[in-house]
Homo-oligomer: A and B are copies of this chain.
Amino acid sequence: MTEADPTHAPLFEHPAFLLGQLGFHTAGRFADLLAPIGIGPRHFGMLRLLRDHDGQSQQQLSEMLGIHRNVMVGLVDDLEKRELVERRKHPTDRRAHAVYLLPAAHEMLARAYEAVDGLEAELLASFDERDIATLLGLLQRLATANGLRRGIHPGLTSERISPPPCG
């Protein structure tokens, strides 16, 4: 099953393909590692945001996460059911809810960060310090040059990034 391509290199020779493949794999593994503690990547992102932006309205939070406010409703519902966040009255706008972290969230965040560390270690197991530094620098340049917002990833599902296949 060697790839014989008359005009183009095999996909293994394309950085774009490898990025897509590795990104999908990474997102899936992240969801896998988060699953045992009972949250998904989107919940992690929300808790992480709240640690620095406690007490904001759902509207504000959804803009910062790059998601629609309708989706935010379900996200806050989930986290409220697990007693990780709380909806309180907004101090200045009676239409809005102010969302606050509850104490349990900090322990949850600590455990989620362990998952992040585990993922990073697993992914980069075969790399030494220098390889990692080189890779990080290149990926940061790519992300910046292609207009990706820092720390905002509109591609992480609750469980899996989702879809089907391709070769």
Check: A167 CB closer than 8 A to any chain B CB.
yes
- Per-residue B-contact encoding for A20-51, CB less than 8 Å = 1, 0 else: 11111111101000000000011011101100
Q: Is the CB of A21 within 8 A of B143?
A: yes
Q: Is the CB of A24 within 8 A of B146?
A: no
Q: Is the CB of A123 within 8 A of B16?
A: yes
Considering only CB atoms, which chain B residue lies closest to A155 in the complex? B24
Given A23-B20, A157-B163, A161-B163: A135 touches B136 (CB 8 Å cut-off):
no
Q: Is the CB of A164 within 8 A of B7?
A: no
User: How many copies, total?
Assistant: 2
Q: Which of B10, B23, B141 contacts A151 (CB 8 A)?
A: B10
Q: For residue A132, which residues in chain B have a CB less than 8 angstroms away from its CB?
A: 15
Q: Is the CB of A156 within 8 A of B148?
A: no
Q: How far is the CA of A24 from the CA of B153 in the complex (A)?
A: 8
Residues of A within 8 A of B (CB): 1, 3-4, 7-8, 10-28, 30, 41-42, 44-46, 48-49, 52, 64-67, 71, 110, 113, 116, 119-120, 122-127, 131-132, 134-136, 138-143, 145-146, 148, 150-158, 161-167
Q: List 21 contacting pairs A-B, 8 Å CB cutoff, sorted by A.
A: A3-B150, A12-B140, A12-B151, A14-B120, A15-B123, A16-B120, A16-B123, A16-B124, A18-B143, A22-B143, A23-B27, A24-B155, A28-B155, A46-B166, A122-B146, A125-B145, A131-B141, A151-B167, A153-B166, A155-B163, A161-B161
